[in-house]
Structure 1
Amino acid sequence: MSIYILFYFTFYFTLGASMLYFSQFFETVHISGGQSGMIFAIGSFLAMAFQPVLGYINDKTKKSKEILILITGIIFITLFLMNYINSFMGILILYSFYAIAVFCEMPLMDTVSLTTHYAFGKIRLWGSIGFAVGALVSGKVIEMFGSSSFLYLGAAASIITGIIILKIPVKINNLHGDDEKVDLKKLLTNKRYIVFVMVSMLFLGTNNGHNSYFAVYFKEIGGSMALLGTTIFLMTLSEVPFIGVSTKLISKKGVEFVVTLAVLCMTVRWGVYFLFSKPSVIAGTFLSQGASVGLFFAGANLFIRNIVEKNTLGTAITVFMAAGSLGGMFVQYISGVIIEQYGAVYIYGFFTVLAFAALILMFLGKKLKN
């Protein structure tokens, strides 16, 4: 299991070291809020388009390892080159490839982990630890070496991730039997799955928007870069205990209960960010990320595994993540406009409304089950 733990740690370290600091970096190279929103939105749209295609290719070819190595290489190239290209169009192109690679690798690695005999939660929590450490280290690196230095850190971490993928056992490629067909029609007529895909659009959409603009929001309400790095570290690290207890909570209450609880916590979280926008308050509510994001990611893929056919699992998870990217595209673009017109605080009022809609959909999905 150690090789999978290292895989999650280094990949999410790369994300923590890079994803949260793009909005701050864009400001330093004189890209406006509206342009940032466009960059994030287009990246999310392209990721959304590629995710289900890649999931289907993975289910058909069973070449998980080769695909993971390829997209990890793309992450390295985009992060490295972004240090040398500061034009709007150049950054738009590079960020788009980065978003495609990152958001395609996330569901694929989850699919791989779900086909092993190891407890998914015990592996996934190391992703949260890696993200937290990456965010903290990147914040310190930016303070010491400048606003673009996080790109080198992320690129270096992606190289290590690629080396670890080479060590993953080849047997993970055989996700299902050669004679099994990928029944997309059955997947797309699964009502409970479709409702959960809609939840993904709203829940992951607001989370992607938060990841893109939290640095801008935190700076606007008076927080320092040092406190930002520490806050992100504590927030992400808070996912670990919640993911750790998720296995017991799922066995007692069921996976659907855990996912619904996560959506409820997210709704409350965004409401607090909107109504009590002070650095000390936001830093003090770091556990809210674990209670929302931690529980959601611990339960979402298990929930999907319970409601879809085994031979469509890879496709189902990537479509689910693609829906999150679609939601992210919408949320990121609108958020960029809101920031430009009203300020970053107001995007969290927008997030609150969307998260509440996701909560309603979870109850609707439960009625479909009954």
Structure 2
Amino acid sequence: MKSSKVLYWKLSAYFFFFFFTWSSSASLFPIWLKQELNLSGSATGLIFSVNAIFALCIQPVYGYISDKIGLKKNILSFISLLLVLVGPFYIYIYGPLLKYNVILGAAVGAIYLGVGISAGIGAIETYVEKVSRKYNFEYGKSRMWGSLGWASATFFAGQLFNINPNINFWVASISAIILVVIILSVKIEVTNFELEKAES
């Protein structure tokens, strides 16, 4: 029972800070593209389309890997480490690339954001749902913390954007560091049966 409560709170916190990271970097994304990068509406539409298409392509890959590794936390650790770089990526790579060449920037952005966020959320939700069944805590309550994380970040994002849009990206990276700390502290007992089931 104690391990169940600990895991519930840790994974709920993981949801909170994942969505906090996502919202900090993306809730004002269209405004950032227009006001800071001076991109047209058609360019913005292209970027969103490429992001969506790549996310759809990477989701089955995450699904396959998730099935093969079972309750191991490899994917969540990978996503967390990747998101630590979200601030520098937006500021020093994504923004300059989009200004230089929209198609090239959209492609690079779609790969990073698709792997780290757009498709990553599905892998995270699948993992936490599996753990919730094993340790008998309610997945829906844990997932609710993600919505709170998004709302919390959005509340501050607009104010920070008016000061300097880059602050939001640095906040996202700091939030992702917390993600790494949380996932490193998560301990899941994987039985031989579960390993055999994942490898079958």
Q: TM-score if structure 1 supplies the norm length?
A: 0.45
Runs of 4 or more off by more than 6 Å in structure 1? 172-175
1:10 CA drift (Å): 0.6
Describe the SS at the equivalent of 2:137.
coil
Paired AA for residue 144 in structure 2? L
The one-letter code matched in structure 1 to 2:25 is S
Q: Give, in angstroms, the shift of residue 127 of structure 1.
A: 0.7
Residue of structure 1 aligned with 2:129, choices 114, 119, 129: 114
Structure 2 alignment gaps of length 5 or more: 1-7
1:222-237 matches, within 5 Å, as none
* 1:153-183: CA deviation from partner (whole Å, max 9, x where unpaired): 111111111211111123379894514677x
> Which has the higher Rg, Structure 1 or Structure 2?
1
Q: How many residues align?
A: 181
- Indicate whether 1:75 and 2:89 are aligned: no
Residue 98, structure 1, aligned to residue 106, structure 2: no
Equivalence for 1:58: 66
Q: Which residue of the partner structure matches residue 186 of structure 2?
A: 168
Cα distance change, pair 50–21 in 1 and its aligned pair in 2 (3 A): same
Partner of 2:29: 22
The correspondence for 2:13, drawn from 6, 30, 34, is 6
Per the TM alignment, residue 102 of structure 1 is displaced from its structure 2 partner at its CA by: 0.7
Q: Residues 173 and 92 (structure 1 numbering): CA distance in 2 closer, same or farther, change over 3 Å?
A: farther
Give the aligned residue type for 1:141. Answer: L
1:31/1:66 Cα in 2 relative to 1: closer, same or farther (>3 Å)? same
Secondary structure of 1:171's aligned partner:
coil
Identity of aligned residues (%): 23
Equivalence for 1:36: 44
Distance 1:131 1:105, change over 3 A: same
Number of the residue aligned with 2:3 = none
Instruction: Assess if the C-alpha contact under 8 Å between 2:114 and 2:120 holds in 1.
Output: no
Q: Is the 8 A contact 2:58 2:114 kept in 1?
A: no
Q: Deviations over 1:56-91 (max 9, x none)?
A: 111012364111111222223243222124232464
The RMSD of aligned alpha carbons is: 2.4
Higher relative contact order (CA 8 A, sep 6+): 2
Provide the rounded CA distance (Å) in 2 between the counterparts of 1:19 and 1:175. Answer: 40
Q: Where does residue 150 of structure 1 map in the other structure?
A: 168
Does the 8 Å CA contact 1:78/1:95 hold for their aligned counterparts? no
Unaligned runs of 5+ in 1: 183-370
Tell whether the 8 Å contact from 2:70 to 2:198 is kept in structure 1 after alignment.
Answer: no
- Paired residues for 1:207-226 under 5 Å: none
2-side partners of 1:175 and 1:123: how far apart?
26
Task: Tell me, yes or no, if structure 1 residue 87 matches structure 2 residue 102.
Answer: no
